Structure 1
Amino acid sequence: MTTRDTVTPHDGTLRVLSTSDLAGIDITLTDVVDTVEQAYRTLAAGHSDNPRKLTVKPADGHSVAYAMLGRDGVRDVVAIKTSYKHGLHESRERQHYYTTLSIYDDVTGLPVAMMDCGRIGSLRTPAVSALLARECAAPDARTALVIGTGTQGRLALPFLLTTLPQLDRLMLSGTHPEGLAAVRAELARHFPDREPEVVTDLRRAAGEADVVVATAGGHTPAAVEADWLRPAAVTILVGHGLAPSTLHRADRVIATSEAQMQVTGTDMADADGKLPAVDQELPAVLSGAARARTAPGQRIFAYNSGLVITDIALGHRFAQLAAEQGLGTEVALWR
């Protein structure tokens, strides 16, 4: 994987990559995982910057907007990601959601690309879950359970198999037939010899799983309790599907960012509105400075919240591939 390919137009124009441009780029799951892992390692080494995001939300809560700035010290790029969702009180099909990533070369001082960030996020998040699973799972982990069949649920199993190829039983909990079919199709596309086992008894399935990844939406009735889990199980929260007890009764708590967990994980707070302290953050674990699992039999809770530094690295990787394939539209924005 290269990091400093020439992807910047020499005349200072901006390469704009649309949703359809990015959809046409073929990238392997291994490439995605490696790119995301490198971003975390670079951050842990102190070579990158990942400040807290800015948030604005009107009093009636009908919309929310975020701005996230960061710098990747290996790729030598600076980028800003914006995210805007409108219609939060509406059903999902009536909501409007836009997310963009603008990247600048911090060596030449020229713009690299501006792109839709939807596909970046849809790949980055399950890749992070897979890295958490690899670092937190017990050495003899063989069974995984994914809760939810939305965007994150559909890619969770292929990414898990990328970082934990020893998994030999894949369970899936979901209620939407089209979602279940989409998960099967996505798994077959990457691992044609594997088939997920659809489960209806969530308590039993959770008790048999070594790795549980909860990706369900906010309206899910699924809520795995700590008492359901087997010893040494790891639970990874991406969306919903885990009860607060899985966090508060865990032997170890790992997060991509403790600061972000304190802000975005409030639905997992206890009766006093508090969250437990995080034992380690993923960048330190991936760098080798810390360990996720410190003793056999520990139940680990892992919290997956996005860091913009991973969006930047993966977005820059897509910009590289787009430049190689001649994709995108070059716009003389500043002329």
Structure 2
Amino acid sequence: MPDNAQLLLLDRDVVESLSSPDDVLEAVREAFVLHSRREGRIFPVVRQALATGGVFGIKAGDVSSQNLLGFKAAGLWPGNRQLGGDTHQATIMLIDPATGRPTCILDGNAVTTLRTGAAGGLGLLQLARPDSSTACVFGTGVQARAQLSYALRLMPTLKAVRYVTSAGQRDPAFEAHFSAHCDIALSSDRNASVAESDVVITTTPGRGALFDLDAVQPGTHLNCVGADTTGKRELPEGLLQRARLFFDDRTQAIQIGETQWAPDTPGIELGDLLTGSAAFKRERHDITIFDMTGIALQDLTVARVLFDRASQSGAGTAIAWPW
């Protein structure tokens, strides 16, 4: 057995330095296409509550034609707020499918943020009205920033953004981050803001419905990020049945996404729209929902790009990992 094998470590700063919005967008698009064509596999999700109060999960998959195999171990630890840390923690490992040896460990927080934002952007391009000009965002955290960044990048027609916080207070840093790109302000009435918006983006911990059913007007598109565990929800009862439903993966959406609350609701996987194996022609009165649970292939395609780029540039830290 070789004793000179190495394992490459890519921390948060390296991941962010090697990433670009366009590269991540294309890698996520590839993940959706691979999933639609069944050229990439996603394995059953592990999602379990812990005695510590955290939630731990594993998302894994492979693409045999690319010799791509790996997983992301991730979850939510609310107690990290008191420690001054991020409540979401994630680590990605790429593995050589021929030997089972790990080849790269990456900071999964940065990858998750980027790939989820890109997935939301693709959802908007496929599902939202092309002339959408107003948006309402629930939350101002890391994922809210990622979602809104891609939304503004990919839909230049978006000009006015209202955001909702759990405490109903302004977030000056969030406003400052986007003020050069849109008219952004705190919502004074969440139902009114939803009713006035062409696009609604929900990025909360998913503790319950964020607005009333009647607030959602015909023609609205919703990107829903927060429901990623059994029991979580952000949408009001009855909305799924009124809408055209889309998801990244139907099985996951039924297990841990918004679709768990109406599992018999028909829907289409976004990748099938990208490959043309399914078609959707939006009518102006359609309400559309993208139930985003995040699939392992998104993590793996982005991680592969970063691993290749780091290997070529010498970025990251290589450590001995002998057999």
Under TM normalisation by the shorter chain, which class is it?
0.7 to 0.9
Shift of 1:127: 1.4
2:257 is aligned, of 252, 262, 265, to: 265
Shift of 1:185: 4.0
Alignment partner, residue 226 of structure 1 = 213
Residue identity opposite 2:283 in structure 1: A
Q: Is the 8 A contact 2:5 2:320 kept in 1?
A: yes
2:184 is aligned, of 193, 196, 199, to: 196
Q: Is the 8 A contact 2:219 2:287 kept in 1?
A: yes
Structure 1 counterpart SS, 2:263: coil
Q: Is the 8 A contact 2:203 2:225 kept in 1?
A: yes
Alignment partner, residue 93 of structure 1 = 82
The range that moved more, 153-162 or 323-332, is 323-332
Alignment partner, residue 20 of structure 1 = 13
Would the alpha carbon gap of residues 267 and 68 (structure 1) be closer, same or farther in structure 2, given more than 3 Å must change? closer
Matches within 5 A, 1:18-167: 18-23=11-16, 25-57=17-49, 62-72=53-63, 75-85=66-76, 90=79, 92-93=81-82, 98-106=89-97, 111-167=102-158
Q: Is the 8 A contact 1:85 1:97 kept in 2?
A: yes
Alignment partner, residue 256 of structure 1 = 248
Matched residue count? 313
Would the alpha carbon gap of residues 151 and 334 (structure 1) be closer, same or farther in structure 2, given more than 3 Å must change? same
TM-score (norm 1): 0.82
Q: Does 1:312 align with 2:312?
A: no
Shift of 1:241: 4.3
The range that moved more, 133-142 or 114-123, is 133-142
Write the distance in 2 (CA, Å) between the matches of 1:178 and 1:103.
41
Alignment partner, residue 229 of structure 2 = none
Structure 1 counterpart SS, 2:5: coil
Shift of 1:171: 2.4
Residue identity opposite 1:81 in structure 2: K
Write the distance in 1 (CA, Å) between the matches of 2:61 and 2:259.
27
The range that moved more, 77-86 or 175-184, is 175-184
Q: Is the 8 A contact 2:198 2:220 kept in 1?
A: yes
Structure 2 counterpart SS, 1:67: strand
Q: Does 1:238 align with 2:225?
A: yes
Q: Is the 8 A contact 2:235 2:258 kept in 1?
A: no
Residue identity opposite 2:221 in structure 1: V
Q: Is the 8 A contact 1:12 1:111 kept in 2?
A: no
Shift of 1:242: 2.8
TM-score (norm 2): 0.84
Q: Is the 8 A contact 1:254 1:300 kept in 2?
A: yes
Residue identity opposite 1:242 in structure 2: L
5+ residue gaps, structure 2: 227-232
Q: Is the 8 A contact 1:184 1:195 kept in 2?
A: no
Write the distance in 1 (CA, Å) between the matches of 2:169 and 2:25.
27
Q: Is the 8 A contact 1:103 1:114 kept in 2?
A: yes
5+ residue gaps, structure 1: 1-10
Shift of 1:76: 3.2
Q: Is the 8 A contact 1:39 1:72 kept in 2?
A: no
Would the alpha carbon gap of residues 125 and 296 (structure 1) be closer, same or farther in structure 2, given more than 3 Å must change? same
Write the distance in 2 (CA, Å) between the matches of 1:178 and 1:202.
13
Shift of 1:26: 4.8
Alignment partner, residue 3 of structure 1 = none
CA-atom RMSD, angstroms? 3.0
Structure 1 counterpart SS, 2:195: helix
Write the distance in 2 (CA, Å) between the matches of 1:178 and 1:132.
29
Shift of 1:176: 5.9
Query: CA-to-partner distance for each residue in 1:52-93, whole Å, 9 max, x for gaps?
Result: 2134445x573432222211356431112212555x6x5743
Write the distance in 2 (CA, Å) between the matches of 1:61 and 1:177.
29
